[in-house]
């Protein structure tokens, strides 16, 4: 399997090259030259696999420069009941017939980012060990990516982590998870701005090829293809779990064509578009997904795009601080991958939109025909507000007996609006409610429980460096701490 850039660079690279690289040299994102396409027999063969073995089957379609036995061992070492609390890894939490949560937040940091980041830590250590090299990871987080990356990389040989986060914009629990780590290879940088400023700095450093190569800079943000690829797995797992729960999973002799398999829909709380983009990849591979529902909070750039075909990122001053803070994002860095597929993989057109038009006008608009084509990819969207969030938290607790986090509440609110008769709907859980206790208490009148080992985490000593929202201070910090 070879990979090319979304912005037209047709130089083909292999998986382990782009694993350590992040952005393509032309500023684009990597995608496979073509998605592997499944058939009904393959889907039937996968339906009874463990999560780890399913992950191996999917990843091996995209990774051919790691020996199969090594890749299988890495995956099995990652997806264990000891790490994720259950043999199913991403079990369903049924709400009512045809509606369930897919639990993605049972990992070390209580957020779905662990699903990919735990594997990424294994892949980085393996490949760096093969090469005898080191890597300095530069990332940006709105809350959960940072802690997931740091917990996955702490103590890993040959890896240092420099994580940018928006100063004062994360929940106290999220800050404590990151800033309380004392490992020498972990560096937290609190940027005086919003998440988009952090993300812009990471991209600017990554686009300085001389600096990037001199200091061996890599990335764990969802611009890294390996991280998105790991997330594809739980769409397949969720599909099988949903059909089994509904008594609709074909047993014995399976349907002869993919068109004969039942469909499932997914609603995905989305800010940076990485989580739902993995669903797009799964659907492009042939997984029978009816709808991919993008749920936003008040920062509704993506909802506006899927309704109108206009992509209009908001400036820092217009990016709202909300009670689902991990989605307080206006520039969805993974969104370019979907647009590349939407536009027939026209790299020149993508570059004209994401580089030229955005830099010149701060927005771009698709043609009427291009906007109409969105529906062919299964996408639809919806929006949630703070009032909606509180109402959905109460509804979920009172009607279903479940306590969910604020981002998952955004997803459930939109899922209830977008359900289709006869099609199971899964809402991807993004985090456990303990991470956003203040809003849960506002909605339900009590503090959500947290794992015993995380009690009092906010009182631990903090290790963090505050920096202005500028590229050069971050470069200076990197240069003196690698």
The set of catalytic residues is 113
CA distance 363 to 312: 4
> How many angstroms separate the CA atoms of 217 and 204, rounded?
12
Cβ-contact 186, 162 below 8 angstroms: no
The alpha carbon dihedral of 167, 300, 428, 140 has a sign of negative
Identify the H or E element spanning 94. Answer: strand 92-96
Classify 264 as helix, strand or coil: strand
How many alpha carbons fall within 13 Å on the CB side of residue 265? 27
What is the torsional sign of CA 185, 131, 141, 166? Answer: positive
Residues written for the chain = 482
Contact predicate 139/159, CB 8 Å: no
Nearest to 288 by CA among 318, 263, 269, 313: 263
Coil vs helix vs strand at 291: strand
Alpha helices in 246-293 (DSSP H): 274-285
Q: Find out whether 151 and 231 touch, Cβ atoms under 8 Å.
A: no
How do strand 30-32 and strand 3-5 relate by DSSP bridges?
antiparallel
- Residue 3 near residue 12 (C-beta atoms within 8 A): yes
C-alpha torsion angle, residues 18, 20, 22, 27 (rounded to 10) = -70
Q: How far is CA 305 from CA 148, 344, 366, 428, in A?
A: 29, 18, 9, 21
Torsion of CA 223, 224, 225, 231, to 10 degrees: -90
* Cα 146 to Cα 139: distance, rounded to the nearest angstrom: 7
Alpha-carbon distance 265 to 241, whole Å? 13
Residue with tokens 């993506």: 302
């Amino acid at each position: 399997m070879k990979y090319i850039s979304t912005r037209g660079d047709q130089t083909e690279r292999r998986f382990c090259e782009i694993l350590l690289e992040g952005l393509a040299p032309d500023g684009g994102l990597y995608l496979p030259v073509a998605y592997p396409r499944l058939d009904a027999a393959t889907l039937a063969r996968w339906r009874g696999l463990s999560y780890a073995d399913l992950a191996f089957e999917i990843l091996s379609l995209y990774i051919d420069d790691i020996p199969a036995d090594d890749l299988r061992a890495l995956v099995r070492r990652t997806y264990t009941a000891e790490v994720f609390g259950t043999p199913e890894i991403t079990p369903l939490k049924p709400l009512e017939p045809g509606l369930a949560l897919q639990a993605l937040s049972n990992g070390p940091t209580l957020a779905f980012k662990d699903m990919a980041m735990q594997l990424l830590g294994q892949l980085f250590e393996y490949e760096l060990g093969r090469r005898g090299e080191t890597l300095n990871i530069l990332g940006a987080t709105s809350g959960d990516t940072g802690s997931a990356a740091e917990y996955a990389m702490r103590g890993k040989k040959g890896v240092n982590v420099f994580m940018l986060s928006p100063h004062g914009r994360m929940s106290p629990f999220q800050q404590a998870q990151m800033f309380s780590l004392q490992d020498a290879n972990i560096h937290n940088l609190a940027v005086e701005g919003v998440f988009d400023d952090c993300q812009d700095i990471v991209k600017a450093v990554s686009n300085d090829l001389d600096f990037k190569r001199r200091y061996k800079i890599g990335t764990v943000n969802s611009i890294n293809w390996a991280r998105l690829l790991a997330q594809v797995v739980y769409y397949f797992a969720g599909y099988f779990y949903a059909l089994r729960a509904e008594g609709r999973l074909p047993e014995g002799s399976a349907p002869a064509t993919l068109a004969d398999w039942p469909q499932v829909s997914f609603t995905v709380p989305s800010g940076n578009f990485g989580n739902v983009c993995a669903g797009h990849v799964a659907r492009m591979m042939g997984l029978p997904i009816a709808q991919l529902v993008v749920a936003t909070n008040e920062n509704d750039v993506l909802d506006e795009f899927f309704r109108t075909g206009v992509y209009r990122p908001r400036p820092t001053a217009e990016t709202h601080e909300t009670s689902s803070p991990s989605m307080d994002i206006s520039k969805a860095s993974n969104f370019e991958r979907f647009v590349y597929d939407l536009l027939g993989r026209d790299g020149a057109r993508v570059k004209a939109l994401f580089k030229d038009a955005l830099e010149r006008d701060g927005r771009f608009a698709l043609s009427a025909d291009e906007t109409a084509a969105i529906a062919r990819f299964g996408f639809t969207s919806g929006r949630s507000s703070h009032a909606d969030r509180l109402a959905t938290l109460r509804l979920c607790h009172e009607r279903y007996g479940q306590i969910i986090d604020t981002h998952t509440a955004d997803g459930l609110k939109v899922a209830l609006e977008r359900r289709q008769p006869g099609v199971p709907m899964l809402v991807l859980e993004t985090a456990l409610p303990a991470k956003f206790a203040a809003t849960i208490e506002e909605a339900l009148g009590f503090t959500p429980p947290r794992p015993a080992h995380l009690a009092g985490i906010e009182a631990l000593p903090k290790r963090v460096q505050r920096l202005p929202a500028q590229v050069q201070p971050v470069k200076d910090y990197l240069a003196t701490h690698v």
